Amino acid sequence: NAGVTQTPKFQVLKTGQSMTLQCAQDMNHEYMSWYRQDPGMGLRLIHYSVGAGITDQGEVPNGYNVSRSTTEDFPLRLLSAAPSQTSVYFCASSYYGTGGNYGYTFGSGTRLTVV
């Protein structure tokens, strides 16, 4: 039972490059989301999805795209990397409507550096 798997764990990009951060969960969770963690800022919501085919923007969506073609996968795409996107990215999932009681399950994170 892998839970939430994020790949890669580390990545260095040059400004202007694009890449996709992968997130997969094997718990059949409907709800998935992406957060970024920056020093002194806590975790901030980038995008979320309440089910396959449905996505919506969070607090800091600019520069990121998402899609949800299957229940299991929720990739995050950086269109044109900027140094301001240097951060640690976390993917999270939960059963629909249960996040308040049972919390979200988080992946171990992807540390991204944009130079």
Partner 1 sequence: DQQVKQNSPSLSVQEGRISILNCDYTNSMFDYFLWYKKYPAEGPTFLISISSIKDKNEDGRFTVFLNKSAKHLSLHIVPSQPGDSAVYFCAAMERWNFGNEKLTFGTGTRLTIIP
Among 43, 61, 73, 75, binds partner 1 (CB under 8 A): 43
- Among residues 31, 34, 64, 74, the one that binds partner 1 under rule CB under 8 A: 31
Cα→Cα distances 38→29, 42, 85, 94, 105, Å:
26, 6, 10, 23, 19
Residue 53 found at the interface with partner 1 (CB under 8 A): no
Q: Is 97 in the site for partner 1 (CB under 8 A)?
A: yes
Token pair 């989301």: residue? 33
Whole-angstrom distance, CA of residue 87 vs CA of residue 83:
9
Q: Which amino acid is at 76?
A: L
Show the DSSP H helices in the chain as ranges.
Answer: 99-102
Note whether 74 binds partner 1 by CB under 8 A.
no
| The residue type at 74 | F
Q: Which stretch binds partner 1 (CB under 8 A): 17-25, 62-70, 79-87, 107-115?
A: 107-115
Please, are residues 19 and 114 in contact by the beta-carbon 8 Å criterion?
no
Which one, 75 or 99, has the nearer CB to partner 1? Answer: 99
User: Which residue of 8, 108, 113, 115 would you call a contact of partner 1, by CB under 8 A?
Assistant: 108
Contacts with partner 1 by CB under 8 A lie at: 4, 31, 33, 35, 40-45, 48, 50-51, 56, 58-59, 90, 92, 96-97, 99-109
